[in-house]
Amino acid sequence: MVWLKFLVCFIVILFAGTKLARYGDAIAEKSGLGRIWIGLVLIALVTSMPELVTGISAVALIKIPDLALGNFMGSCLFNLLIIAVLDIIHRPSPVLSQVHYRRHLLPAIIGISLMALAAGSILAGQQLSGVTLGWVGIPSIVIVIFYLIGIRQTRRRELLHQAECAPPTTGLQYDGISNRTVYFRFALAALAIIGAGIWLAFIGDEIAATYNWSTSFVGSLFLAITTSLPELVVTITAVRLGAIDMAIADILGANMINMANIFSADVFYSQGPILSSVYSVHALTAAIAIVMTLVVISGLRFQGRRKIFKLASWYSIALIALYIAGAYAIYTLSSG
């Protein structure tokens, strides 16, 4: 029965995710904000909502901080793996060769910085992450502040880019759809994604409990994959629409939000600073995500025009290998 619920939930996400990508693309056109900004903030916020709710539920209801941290960190891993999936399904050329390198560089660097802050705080234990403001750890506060500063700087760079580029006067793709219709349908799709994603997180928790998997493994791999399904569906749809910049921005933005969500989970975890209450295996997950992000940056910087055997780019193979190796290491350490 639980797998049937999983299937129903996935179908809802599949349908709503395609609509979210389409109307998100329409908002980018009509608002003039651009695909990168819409993907980095608006769509990333919607698709990351299941991780947020799952993390808060893990610390507030069942008092398992490892489940929350594992979900946040593991979602970053899976989100980066999605880039490999996008590259494979984008048959004409390597997917990262179709995006603007400099406009994605800052979000990627911010994501690395946030993950490094979280990993360092976990490894430092009480020496650093035990420093608190009330019951909330100072490192968690620093992470969310750094996220907000990063978003502000990214927006400034986007405004400079838009000022340098003249807006298109012809060839508007969504000119025949009214603004009201676009925003209303985007809101409906967002609500469906959030609702189904939250339900999916609880279904994943039920499946994990049924098979008696460890909390670190469940959070870092199984729940992380299930709560990242909205990102998978939305980004695949965006690539098929030709909105590749929006797809990559969604992934990088979702990873930034996942790290900022540590602060929210810390607020709801009243038993002390969350980063000093979890196992060090989460630092390993963060380290793997950092390396995977560096691979993505390299793929953005050195934009090859050919794929290996016309199937996948070198960075896709590297991302897949890192994810598999990381999943095995996380499973082994968690079991031990």
Please identify which residue in the block is written with the tokens 């100072």: 138
174: in domain: no
172: in domain: no
pLDDT at 175: 77
Question: Can you give the residue range of the structural domain that contains 130?
Answer: 2-165+181-335
Contact criterion met (CB below 8 Å) for 318 and 288? no
Which letter does DSSP use for residue 308 in this model?
B
Q: Kindly give the confidence (pLDDT) of every residue in the chain, 336 residues in length, as a single tens digit, with 9 standing for 90 and above.
A: 778 887 888 788 888 888 888 898 899 888 877 888 888 888 998 888 888 887 888 788 778 888 889 889 989 999 999 999 999 999 888 999 888 888 899 999 999 999 999 999 998 875 665 677 777 889 999 999 999 999 999 888 877 776 666 555 545 677 778 888 999 999 998 898 888 877 766 776 677 677 766 655 655 566 677 778 888 989 999 998 888 999 999 999 999 999 999 999 999 998 888 988 888 889 999 999 999 999 999 999 887 778 887 888 999 999 999 999 988 888 787 665
310: in domain: yes
- Rounded CA-CA distance 277/121 in Å is 11
171: in domain: no
Which residue stretches of the chain are H helix?
Answer: 2-31, 35-37, 44-47, 49-60, 65-89, 101-124, 138-164, 179-211, 215-217, 223-227, 229-241, 244-268, 281-301, 314-335
- Rounded CA-CA distance 38/141 in Å is 25
175: in domain: no
CATH code, 140: 1.20.1420.30
Q: Tokens representing 114?
A: 């946030």
Contact criterion met (CB below 8 Å) for 65 and 277? yes
173: in domain: no
89: in domain: yes
- Rounded CA-CA distance 134/288 in Å is 32
- Amino acid identity of residue 269, one-letter, is Y
- Amino acid identity of residue 171, one-letter, is G
Q: How far is CA 24 from CA 68, 103, 135, 194, 227, in A?
A: 28, 19, 38, 15, 20
The separation between CA 331 and the C-alpha centre of its own chain, rounded to angstroms, equals: 21
Contact criterion met (CB below 8 Å) for 266 and 204? no
What angle separates helix 138-164 from helix 244-268, to the nearest 10 degrees? 160
Beta-carbon count within 10 A of 85 CB: 19
Say if residue 176 is exposed, middle or buried (CB neighbours under 10 Å; 0-12, 13-18, 19+). exposed
Looking at the structure of the chain, the number of domains it has is 1
pLDDT at 142: 94
14: in domain: yes
